[in-house]
Structure 1
Amino acid sequence: MEGFTRWISDLGEQFSYAFLENRRYMAYLEGFKMTLLISLAAVVIGVVVGVILALFKYTGSRNKKLRFLSVIANIYLTIFRGTPVYVQLLIIYYVIFSPLPVPATVAGFLCFGLNSGAYVAEIIRAGIEAVDKGQTEAGRSLGLTSGQTMALIVMPQAIRNILPALGNEFITLIKETAIIGNIGVLDVTKVGQNIGVSNFSYLMPLLLVAVMYLIVVVILSKLLAMFERRLARSDRR
């Protein structure tokens, strides 16, 4: 019993040092703000890149003259889906951007955005192909060009179908950014590591970081589930 009491007391002291002393909780909040900022910037880049790649694959598969677009998209997808995002991060920051005065934060959200774009592309492509072909034929019969039909009829329906999947991609992206501290960005994981180094006790700082990630992911997952239920109800009407 005495040992258990001492263990609880030790955990309390670790929590006080890792979170309360010298207002260290502010460092965690600032670090998590950086994590969310990078994730948001990356998801915007990922959606833009994903739309372009999905259109490349869709167009190239239906037009022999433009098949090279599908080849370009497939090469991109193979590279970014077939290599670890951590290796991509190191190459982009230490190799590609090494001669340039590019902040590590910019290199980070570019890397995560380009990587996410490869996965978003497949989500969007699946969403486009899920739209009934009769919608495309109806658009063409109304005198719309292929581009107009895609932009005005197909894409709005595809985006509606893939929003839940894009939400899951954003949640995944938040967790993936935990490695960005390896190029010097002070995200929440790096903050936890730095506090752990200061007294050679990593348990409580990293546990606090894990709890912060868990809370945000659970909240976002609940919101996404609510959104999916609302979409399902609107589809039944």
Structure 2
Amino acid sequence: MSRNSSTRRALRDVPWWLVAMALLFVLGLWLIVADADYRNIFRSLSDGVVTTLWVTIVAFVSATLLGLLFALMRTGGNRVLREIATFYVELIRGIPILVFLFYVAFVGAPATIAGINWLLTPLISAGAMEAVTVRQFDFVWRAIFALTICYSAFIAEIFRAGIEAVDKGQIEAARSLGLSPIRTFRLIILPQALRTVMPPLGNDFVSMIKDSALVSALGVQDITQLGKVYSSGTFKFFETYNVVAFLYLTMTISLSLLVRLFERHLDRSKR
């Protein structure tokens, strides 16, 4: 009787959505192994996985550092810096990522190159170096730069919420003990704020993997772009986009599960 009840309890606690995802993963893996068309598509898209992960990781690390900077500006005592940071966050969050991606790639990049050439005018005129061209600004880095700016605005709000969640009494106690603002932030504020912001940061990382598909609009050879090229050449749209969806699902679901495990670990450590 006890075994039956424990079995029922275990079945009741099983996350059925995860079981369904596991079955989809097994089905996708079986198709790739057993079907020659799916196998060829997977080989053609494998380089895109590396590009997708590269763009996502570099952009996310850069956006995290930039977002932390603007969060500190927003929570600091200097009104000028606070207003600048607020303007930046509200402006960037109000522009769709795809529009900003095009703006950076086709407006910001040429303007940046023109500014660099203007600064280097004496060297260029003297023949010491050649003028920089827009083509030298790779589209992969334009995409990384655009994703960095877009996500930094959202991450800044995450960090701001984490910093403001720290009990102000602890900050006042640290200052009364003679700790400098930098040491107070490093020893008191940052460790506690990180516990609050890590789960939403993980969710943002998962979201960035999906949003990185937008860089295919610039011709960057990620999973989506390679899938688009392969399907247009072979007319195997159904099979190709099945593999594209399988690759994105594998990455996002795996990372989502890691984020959930990390959240549980944080909950236990708080207790």
| Shared fold per TM-score greater than 0.5 | yes
CA distance in 2, matches of 1:41, 1:189: 19
1:27 CA drift (Å): 2.6
Superposition pairs of residues 10-159 of structure 1, within 5 angstroms: 16-17=36-37, 19-21=38-40, 24-59=41-76, 63=77, 66-98=78-110, 99=113, 100=134, 101-159=136-194
Give distance in 2, aligned partners of 1:183 and 1:31: 14
The superposition leaves residues 89-137 of structure 1 with CA deviations (integer Å, 9 ceiling, x where unpaired) of: 1111111113532101111111111111000000000000111111101
Is the counterpart of residue 200 in structure 1 residue 220 in structure 2? Answer: no
- Extract unaligned runs of 5+ from structure 1: 1-10
Q: Which is higher, the Rg of structure 1 or of structure 2?
A: 2
Q: Secondary structure at the match of 2:184?
A: helix
Per-residue deviation, 1:176 = 0.3
Q: Which deviates more, 100-109 or 171-180?
A: 100-109
Are 2:42 and 2:243, in contact at CA under 8 Å, matched by a contact in 1?
Answer: no
In the alignment, is residue 178 of structure 1 matched against residue 198 of structure 2?
A: no
What secondary structure does 2:46 align onto? helix
Displaced runs of 4+ in structure 1, greater than 3 A?
none
The one-letter amino acid of 1:229's match is R
Question: What's the CA shift string for 1:216-237, capped at 9, x where partnerless?
Answer: 111111111111111111111x
| Unaligned residue ranges in structure 2 (runs of 5+) | 1-30, 114-133
Quick one: distance in 2 between partners of 1:91 and 1:159? Answer: 33
List per-residue Cα deviations over 1:131-186 (Å, max 9, x = no partner): 11111012101101223212221012101221111000100000000010111110
**TM-score normalized by the length of structure 1:** 0.87
Deviations 1:193-219 (CA, angstroms, capped at 9, x unpaired): 011100233222112101111111111
Does structure 1 retain, via aligned residues, the 8 Å contact 2:56–2:208? yes
**Equivalent residues, number:** 216
Q: Secondary structure at the match of 1:97?
A: helix
Quote the residue 1:6 is aligned against. Answer: none
Q: Output the amino acid matched with 1:182.
A: A
Q: Which moved more, 1:81-90 or 1:151-160?
A: 151-160
Indicate the RMSD between aligned Cα atoms, in angstroms. Answer: 1.6
Shift of 1:25: 2.1
